[in-house]
Structure 1
């Protein structure tokens, strides 16, 4: 809570009207309740018409206005008035008391009550007296001290114990209109020496009267262990008003500044037992009890009240610290449990620091009990706040998933998932939902938990879709079952309708690898021709013998499931070339160039969510044998391809018609030694020779059929 704004005009703090009991002004209490800063309380006491109000106005830096200043024998100040002056780390409260010896009050008890209240309230007490330090003033202060000693525990301080209920205020004796020379014996003395000389014992102590005077001096020295003296000359000429600052004597102004500076440097915050700083709310509650104490001489009133205030104050501090924690915890949006814990730790530390700074340090109460109570309260609030964050986040996330699932029609009763390709559609929609869900901001601490719960919830639905699709696929495959391997129609229908719908793969990639000029591109054209109802087209770019036409990987869709991939050929086979070929035997990426499909525009990008099945196919011309070095390298290529793809590479021997039978037989034998199981001798269609022949079609379709059979066996 910030300090209150400057209170430029004084307000009566304690009312003391003639014939009535002293009481606290409720309006002043309201002001005190707003002052959370520690208080430095400076009071001024002394005979009426001695210039107290004008002096305290000067301390406030306000010669005009402020506390009322009188010019007649009638006392202007009744009771105790206060003026609040905010400082950076405390609030200065100036207290102007009614004058002592007012004949209108006619009661010494009233004077002693005012003096005692000023002493109890203040951290600095200024006694303002005219002319000299005299015996009458000492006796008034002594009687006040006698009335207050049971409150301030003077005896304990005399014994060296500073554990009384209150600390004695800093005592300043201001002697006004001082005209004497500060000399003692043969030399000058200081103002403080003048005060100390006035308070020292009179010797020799022979008479009862002297003993009484010394008793007074000893009591005052004990009552005010820290004391200071300031002497002021006459402020103005006899014809001028003290209200007019321009008329003040130069020495008087200088002395006022010295007094103000001394108070500024030496005045301390008012503290209670245990070092508890006095604040506005505490002072407002204690003043009525101070009045009761000086009126009844019943110390238990104050003891009980301080204990009550400490308990009440600490309960309020615990409530305020808890509110601070709650406000801070609600000031930042939380996305994760880690963020929540970090925020809790920071808010917990701040609340505990606030509590420790404002806690009422009552020695009769173990502060750890209140601290433990606050910690328990904050941990309970932590659980409440965490539940609030969880509940709010859970609702937000569930509503978001509900909205996304409706927009994507991702529901169990959607029949379009229970059909061919349904699982692929379902997976695509599920991934889209997850992507859109993750893009949404401020989902809160339950975001991942709710998403995983949802994905787990739809697992049975996904399994049903997979099983349904599997049955449909099996039924479909049964419909297109090949009973006669010489029937090109059956083979073609089986290959065209083959699907991977019940497996977690996107496509079957037939990766063509081999020497330059051995017919890879021609085999691509031949497969497309055998599976098409249209005529032959050189879509792969048929090359010339021993010259490479394919310079980059190109892909050609054969069916909805199968893709032919034509890779650049190699001129020699060594470890570097094997590595290059193996790098080509991977799934399709965005840098893949797709061939034109039946007059459509070339496809340059392919987005898939699942991996491809790689089927390596080595194309080798039956006209060329393998030497020993090529055999060894070819075996390494086939073995490495097998390990990478899980499918033993197929071997397609091209140019069968032009090959010598012994060379063809030798090649087949060498590839068998490499553990190749599928060796197909095929005559490719070419630009110059592409008249459809049943035997050529049958060889090509048989090769594609066994590719699918191997896929079924492995995957």
Structure 2
């Protein structure tokens, strides 16, 4: 499958040009549409000419790939994508996103810089920020794009209705990526107050707040607060210079023995961390993003930016839900058709056999649909699924009946060949012909009934066969001079009784079949309801887990602020946490009530379908 043979080289995902602005490349969307595996999306951002592409090539386990510039000009324009088999997670695709360097003086477009950074944040599951030198105030100032995230990203489509409601930014941690700061050409010793410290401690020390209320201190703290609140999952790596500065222009061409050994160790540690810990890309609701959905996500965000709107996560998730649920219906129906075609051997001996196979295939199909579908508007798509499966089931039932009919008709033609020759020769029109005809007729019926595998139309086809011979029997009776008129009348009545009994049997079978079909439809509904209820309850559990995760992270930040002596900020964080708890309880009640309402609406729709089937 295409999902197992990702792109072998980088390609442009989102082009950034002065003439057109941000434009998504259709070829990149096509490639992503063929990746049905979950994706781990690692994006890198940072100032231009800081070696971002080199790190990304190493994450791809290649020396070349993303373009490395050797001049003061930025090489990467827009966002470039490289899809690879994940080195540590089988069945997953690693998507590397190399973004245009920020702060390019030749470009002179800070607005596009911000959108590139926003897209890197929204599309990735791990964001690497690449800088040079040290994490000082200047390095922090270069990451000022974080301050704009509250203005350039919306969580909810509807405007907030109350000042008491939590701000969108309070919930950014729900869908923002893990954050890795890569410090290049780091030449200091990792020590503080004479004691060795880790790279992570170095970053956390740089993110500590200052006491005071002056505008300078407020600006100093504001960026650090945003990083701490938006990216609670943080990691830091420092890298010594890789080679002599004269060799930096041809870094990708250098052999291992020409690159600093310590730098190689640092890069290896960095790559292993990214490979082993970067999470699968998800969106709120715990939905796992595949290559197909990543393309749709990118398309939705770029369209919003091009239209002058602010990218909205809720709107993007709804767009994903529609695309995913539509695809889930198509995929589920295709699975049902394939399973039925594989398992059903027509004609089945009984209707029960076919309906049992249908139920088995439908159950597997439902499991696939529920695993793929988003819960957003799931009832609409489940009804579509029910309609399509019922149509397919009806076709299988019809085809099964036709296969049975054809087999039975062929069997009767074959078994009656001898009698047909006798009829054409006039054997049965002589005295005693009726008795001979009845003897041959009983033998034909005996052989027909003993024939296996006739299917569900065996009696109906036999009834048609007997009714078709009714005039023939009357003619044979009339011409048989060995029988009296009274005997002929009695024999004629016997013939009619035989047909009437078979007709009653066929009618009973048709009524039983109708009842079985309705029972099967009811069983299908029970299965649909059970799966839907399970899906919606699982969704509520996931949202509860997300809420608890946010509360846990807010608690950790509250404790950190108290340790640092910022009691007022800690109180605010406690207030945010309490609102999250209240919101979580309210949302759970709404979800559970909504689930029962959806099932009630579906029950009404099912009743209509059931009525139409009667």
**Structure 1 pair 19/297, CA: closer, same or farther in 2 (3 Å)?**
closer
1:208 pairs, out of 206, 215, 229, with 215
* CA deviation after TM superposition for structure 1 residue 474, in Å: 7.5
SS class of match (2:42): strand
Instruction: Name the count of aligned residue pairs.
Output: 472
**Structure 1 pair 296/463, CA: closer, same or farther in 2 (3 Å)?**
closer
* CA deviation after TM superposition for structure 1 residue 121, in Å: 0.8
Would you say the 8 A contact 1:152–1:164 is kept in 2?
no
Whether 1:415 and 2:429 are equivalent positions in the alignment is: no
* CA deviation after TM superposition for structure 1 residue 161, in Å: 9.6
Q: Distance in 1 between matches of 2:292 and 2:333?
A: 19
* CA deviation after TM superposition for structure 1 residue 368, in Å: 3.5
Q: Distance in 2 between matches of 1:110 and 1:265?
A: 32
Q: Distance in 2 between matches of 1:208 and 1:7?
A: 49
Residue in 2 that maps onto 1:79: 78
Q: Distance in 2 between matches of 1:209 and 1:273?
A: 36
Residue in 2 that maps onto 1:229: 236
* CA deviation after TM superposition for structure 1 residue 285, in Å: 2.8
Residue in 1 that maps onto 2:183: 175
- The answer to which of 416-425 and 310-319 deviates more is 416-425
Would you say the 8 A contact 1:116–1:145 is kept in 2?
no
* CA deviation after TM superposition for structure 1 residue 309, in Å: 4.1
Would you say the 8 A contact 1:48–1:75 is kept in 2?
yes
**Structure 1 pair 311/295, CA: closer, same or farther in 2 (3 Å)?**
closer
SS class of match (2:44): strand
* CA deviation after TM superposition for structure 1 residue 86, in Å: 3.0
* CA deviation after TM superposition for structure 1 residue 424, in Å: 4.5
Q: How does 1:435-454 map onto structure 2 within 5 Å? A: 435=447, 439=451, 443-447=454-458, 449-451=460-462, 453-454=464-465
Q: Deviations over 1:421-451 (max 9, x none)?
A: 753454346535753785576x554345424
Q: Deviations over 1:155-189 (max 9, x none)?
A: 99988998669601011011112121111113111
Residue in 2 that maps onto 1:54: 54
**Structure 1 pair 140/451, CA: closer, same or farther in 2 (3 Å)?**
farther
* CA deviation after TM superposition for structure 1 residue 254, in Å: 2.5
Residue in 1 that maps onto 2:482: 472
Residue in 2 that maps onto 1:629: none
Q: What TM-score do you get using the length of structure 2 for normalisation? A: 0.68
Q: Which has the larger radius of gyration?
A: 1
Residue in 1 that maps onto 2:599: none
**Structure 1 pair 295/415, CA: closer, same or farther in 2 (3 Å)?**
closer
Q: Deviations over 1:307-349 (max 9, x none)?
A: 3442343233213322332233233323232331122112211
Would you say the 8 A contact 2:153–2:312 is kept in 1?
no
Residue in 2 that maps onto 1:427: 439
Q: Distance in 1 between matches of 2:469 and 2:164?
A: 80
Residue in 1 that maps onto 2:128: 126
**Structure 1 pair 429/220, CA: closer, same or farther in 2 (3 Å)?**
same
Whether 1:102 and 2:104 are equivalent positions in the alignment is: yes
Q: Distance in 2 between matches of 1:156 and 1:20?
A: 41
* CA deviation after TM superposition for structure 1 residue 26, in Å: 1.4
Residue in 2 that maps onto 1:333: 345
Would you say the 8 A contact 1:120–1:166 is kept in 2?
no
Residue in 1 that maps onto 2:588: none
Q: Distance in 2 between matches of 1:276 and 1:162?
A: 21
Q: How does 1:178-577 map onto structure 2 within 5 Å? A: 178-202=186-210, 204-205=211-212, 207-240=214-247, 241-243=250-252, 244-246=254-256, 247-294=258-305, 298-299=309-310, 303-304=314-315, 306-331=317-342, 332-334=344-346, 335-336=348-349, 337-362=351-376, 365=377, 367-406=378-417, 408-409=419-420, 415-418=426-429, 419-420=431-432, 422-424=434-436, 426-428=438-440, 430-432=442-444, 435=447, 439=451, 443-447=454-458, 449-451=460-462, 453-454=464-465, 472=482
Would you say the 8 A contact 2:114–2:145 is kept in 1?
yes
> Is the helix fraction higher in 1 or 2?
2
- RMSD of aligned alpha carbons: 3.6
Q: Distance in 2 between matches of 1:453 and 1:319?
A: 40
- The answer to which of 367-376 and 26-35 deviates more is 367-376
SS class of match (2:94): strand
Would you say the 8 A contact 2:118–2:152 is kept in 1?
no
**Structure 1 pair 19/415, CA: closer, same or farther in 2 (3 Å)?**
closer
**Structure 1 pair 300/146, CA: closer, same or farther in 2 (3 Å)?**
closer
**Structure 1 pair 289/120, CA: closer, same or farther in 2 (3 Å)?**
same
SS class of match (2:288): coil
Q: Which structure is higher in RCO with an 8 Å CA cutoff and minimum separation 6?
A: 2
Residue in 1 that maps onto 2:39: 39
Residue in 2 that maps onto 1:135: 137
* CA deviation after TM superposition for structure 1 residue 89, in Å: 2.6
Unaligned runs of 5+ in 1: 476-502, 504-715
Unaligned runs of 5+ in 2: 157-162, 486-493, 495-614
**Structure 1 pair 450/48, CA: closer, same or farther in 2 (3 Å)?**
same
**Structure 1 pair 273/181, CA: closer, same or farther in 2 (3 Å)?**
same
SS class of match (1:268): coil
- The answer to which of 82-91 and 123-132 deviates more is 82-91
* CA deviation after TM superposition for structure 1 residue 219, in Å: 1.1
Q: What TM-score do you get using the length of structure 1 for normalisation? A: 0.59
* CA deviation after TM superposition for structure 1 residue 136, in Å: 3.0
